[in-house]
């Protein structure tokens, strides 16, 4: 009888520890390694995008893909950029193969595709890991600032950063860049 109770108690403790570990993995923020302005991206043209150079400007960062059902959003993002760049808005598109392998294999093809089909003039990064290792640290920062649910689950997640380099809001793929709620959020941080 003592052994069966002890065995049952050990099983409960084991389950409790497993649930605690899962909670820590998915919901507890990891120690922040940097502030927003410490990050950089490799620009698709071979230069560096140093976020500290965008200090004092509102920033929109979007994970993108060329073969996604949401790729049409490139046009809407370009329209936003043209409309708000005079007010300081910076947009950074982050191409990735992480969601459905829906991106070209080379940066030059991504750049050509975006320029020819959407006349993109905002910054594009090189093809970047978002949830595969090595993961770009910006996305760890997003998890720390906004929680696990804010991490991209698909292409065209949108992250608004204030002029002070603070996380403001995120929007999923389903939110169109020309939607009223998205435009209102941008105008709130201009």
In contact, 137 and 34? CB cutoff 8 Å: yes
Every domain of the chain and the residues it spans:
1-30, 33-189
**Sign of the C-alpha dihedral, residues 153, 74, 104, 46?**
negative
Q: Which CATH architecture has domain 33-189?
A: 3-Layer(aba) Sandwich (3.40)
- For the entire predicted model, the pTM comes to 0.83
**Per-residue tokens: 2:** 């003592």
Q: Is the bond leading into 134 cis (omega within 30 degrees of zero)?
A: yes
d(CA 78, CA 132): 27
Q: Which residues are catalytically annotated?
A: 68
- Per residue in 135-188, pLDDT (tens digit) is 999 999 999 999 999 999 999 999 999 999 999 999 999 999 999 999 999 999
Q: Which two tokens stand for residue 122?
A: 């905002």
């Amino acid at each position: 009888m003592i052994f069966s109770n002890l065995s049952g108690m050990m099983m409960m403790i084991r389950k409790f520890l497993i649930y605690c570990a899962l909670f820590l993995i998915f919901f507890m923020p990891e120690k922040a390694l940097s502030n927003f302005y410490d990050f950089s991206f490799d620009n698709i043209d071979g230069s560096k995008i140093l976020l500290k150079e965008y200090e004092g400007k509102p920033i929109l960062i979007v994970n993108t893909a060329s073969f996604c059902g949401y790729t049409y959003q490139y046009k809407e993002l370009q329209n936003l950029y043209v409309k708000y760049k005079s007010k300081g808005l910076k947009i950074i598109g982050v191409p990735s193969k992480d969601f459905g392998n829906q991106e070209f294999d080379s940066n030059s093809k991504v750049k050509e595709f975006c320029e020819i089909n959407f006349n993109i003039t905002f910054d594009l990064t090189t093809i970047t890991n978002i949830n595969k290792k090595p993961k770009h640290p910006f996305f760890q920062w997003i998890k720390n600032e906004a929680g696990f649910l804010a991490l991209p689950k698909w292409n065209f997640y949108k992250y608004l950063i204030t002029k002070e380099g603070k996380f403001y809001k995120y929007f999923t793929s389903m939110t169109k860049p020309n939607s009223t709620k998205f435009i209102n959020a941008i105008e709130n941080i201009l």
